[in-house]
Chains A and B, each alone.
Chain A
Amino acid sequence: MAFVTVDDVLCTAEGFEERLVGYYKALCDGSTREGVRLLADYMGRHRRRLSAALERLDPDERERICACPICYEPVAPDVSCFKDRELAPDATAHEVLDVAIEIDECLVELYRQVLRQDVEQEVKDLFESLVRSEERDEVVLKKIKATDYF
């Protein structure tokens, strides 16, 4: 049984977010479609929701929460865009949005793995807030897709 802390999970999520920012940047630089470049640039700049959530905590509270133990190490997100489904340079905006929605769903699942465990209320609050942020973003992405603008 692996014992980990909240900080370990947050590091996993942060690393994931960093890879995503890089992924969107590469998409923005490499796409042949202006709409995809606009979208990827926007999504890359609005991706860092974890740091936004942590900034809402005061430093002492943040330190205490990060040190809290978690019994079972959550399974890290496994997203197709990083392996078997690299998008082609001419991928459409809809394909890009589908990947972005999948990413949100993966992060929601990561955070829910913590919420399913017996953790302190402050930890629950932080991860509940992160789940809400990702779910909110998912709704925004679906709405962008529905506008059919890009």
Chain B
Amino acid sequence: MEYLLPALIFGGLLVGLAAALTVAEKFLVNYGICKIDVNAGDRELEVDGGQTLLSALNESKIFIPSACGGRGSCGYCKVTVLSGGGPVLPTETPFLTRAEVRSGMRLACQVKVREDVEIKIPEDLLNVKLFTAEVAGLRELTHDMVEATFALQNPAEISQRAGQYIQLQAPSPEGIVSRAYSISSPPSDAHSVQIVVRLVPGGIGSTYVHNLNEGDVVTFTGPYGDFRLNEDPDAAIVCVGGGSGMAPLKNVATTVLEQWPERECWFFFGCRATGDVFYLNEFEELAKKHPNFKVIYALSEPEEASDWSGETGFIHLSLDRHLETSDRKRQAFMCGPPPMIEAVMKVLEEKGFDPDDMFYDEF
């Protein structure tokens, strides 16, 4: 006890000092107005100094993707800071490669704006908007998957590329947090956005979506994402998903068939058991109308008593069986857990796919 008490007092003093410094910086240190130069003069912002770069950009309606509410745990909010960002923090390094650090890449949520800053961000991010929308439809797909359709209110239209995603704002005990969900509805449907969400026990975003009711109002930012569909109708499209990784692939396949009804398109989807299967009937109907649309579902653990007549095993094995090795132009889009994506990419490379023609969305 005689050793414990001084240690506790010392520890308490340190905590108190750290808290006092934080409060002092917040209320007493005035960095004044700082300028943020975005993309060499494309936008010039004047913001209150002392806040994070992520908050400052959000306030100025430049929405950088972030899934952790600025706590530095998701690594999504990467921007290139050309000047004025201070040194890279240890909270950032796990998310940045050496090449990224050398190029000035930073996590916007970890950079404090204390002076004028010059940054570079992808042009696409300047087109990201904040939307409000009404829940227009909720459809149960499986025991833990729901499809939610949001009718856009303000703005009333969205311009997206197939495979992009939104960041839905969900309430949490620590305030509003954003969660990324891919858009499953095609770009031709400019007035609404549809997402597919699996309920994760304890998950803030998925619990929020699963508890929504028709008529509720939601807010989100978007669209984000790097998926780029090849416009050449001779280039075959291969979509591969697993688990809950469906939404961006549904969007890509629907868009392909809408724009090029004869285009070759493969749709592979893997899950564990029959209770996890969804959208199969819809895709089979599409396949009847589009002879070049091939749909392959595979179950890794089909119930013995089930009447499953489709393929069994993991989806990368189905891919290996069906795709031929070729040097023709093909594009692949993947969505699922990282080990699945690795396994699929390995097969695609063996089949002759160019790595530049592979796009993936983890989870």
Contact = CB atoms under 8 A, between A and B. Distances in A.
Interface of A: 34-35, 38-39, 41-42, 49, 53, 55-56, 124-126, 128-129, 132-133, 135-136, 139-140, 143-144, 146-150
A42 B339 contact: yes
Interface in B143-192: none
Chain A, interface SS category? helix
Contacts of A140: 338
Contact of A144 (B75, B93, B339, B343): B339
B314 interface: yes
A42 B94 contact: no
A149 B94 contact: no
A11 to B, nearest CB: 21
Contacts of B95: 132, 136
A149 B270 contact: yes
A34 B200 contact: no
A144 B93 CA distance: 23
B198 A132 contact: no
A49 B314 CA distance: 28
Given A42-B342, A147-B242, A149-B270, A124 B90 contact: yes
Given A146-B203, A149-B242, A53 B93 contact: yes
Given A42-B342, A129-B90, A139-B73, A35 B337 contact: no
B340 to A, nearest CB: 6
A42 B101 CA distance: 26
B313 A133 contact: no
A132 B245 contact: no
Q: Which of B203, B271, B343, B363 has the most CB of A within 10 A?
A: B363
Contacts of B270: 149
Interface residues of B, number: 34
Interface string B85-110: 00001110111001001000000000
27 contacts: A34-B300, A34-B313, A35-B300, A38-B314, A38-B340, A38-B343, A42-B338, A42-B342, A49-B94, A56-B98, A56-B101, A128-B90, A129-B90, A129-B94, A132-B90, A132-B94, A135-B73, A136-B73, A139-B74, A146-B198, A147-B198, A147-B243, A148-B272, A148-B276, A149-B243, A149-B336, A150-B339
Interface in B216-275: 242-245, 270-272
Contacts of A38: 314, 339-340, 343
Given A34-B313, A38-B339, A136 B272 contact: no
Interface of B: 72-75, 89-91, 93-95, 98, 101, 198, 200, 203, 242-245, 270-272, 276, 300, 313-314, 336-340, 342-343, 363
A53 B336 CA distance: 27
B314 A133 contact: no
A140 B337 CA distance: 9
B300 A56 contact: no
Contacts of A128: 90-91
A50 to B, nearest CB: 11
Nearest to A142: B200
Nearest first, the 8 closest Cβ-Cβ pairs linking A and B are A147-B243, A149-B243, A42-B339, A125-B90, A128-B90, A133-B94, A129-B90, A146-B200
Contacts of B272: 148-149
A92 to B, nearest CB: 10
Q: Which of A124, A133, A135, A150 has the most CB of B within 10 A?
A: A150
Q: Which of A39, A55, A125 has the most CB of B within 10 A?
A: A125
Given A35-B300, A56-B98, A146-B200, A132 B91 contact: yes
B246 to A, nearest CB: 11
Contact of B340 (A49, A55, A56, A149): A149
A143 B243 CA distance: 11
Contact of A126 (B74, B90, B343): B90
A135 B75 CA distance: 12
Q: Which of A41, A140, A146 has the most CB of B within 10 A?
A: A146
A34 B318 CA distance: 14
A127 to B, nearest CB: 8
Contacts of B314: 34-35, 38
Nearest to A34: B314
A124 B93 CA distance: 13
Contacts of B203: 146
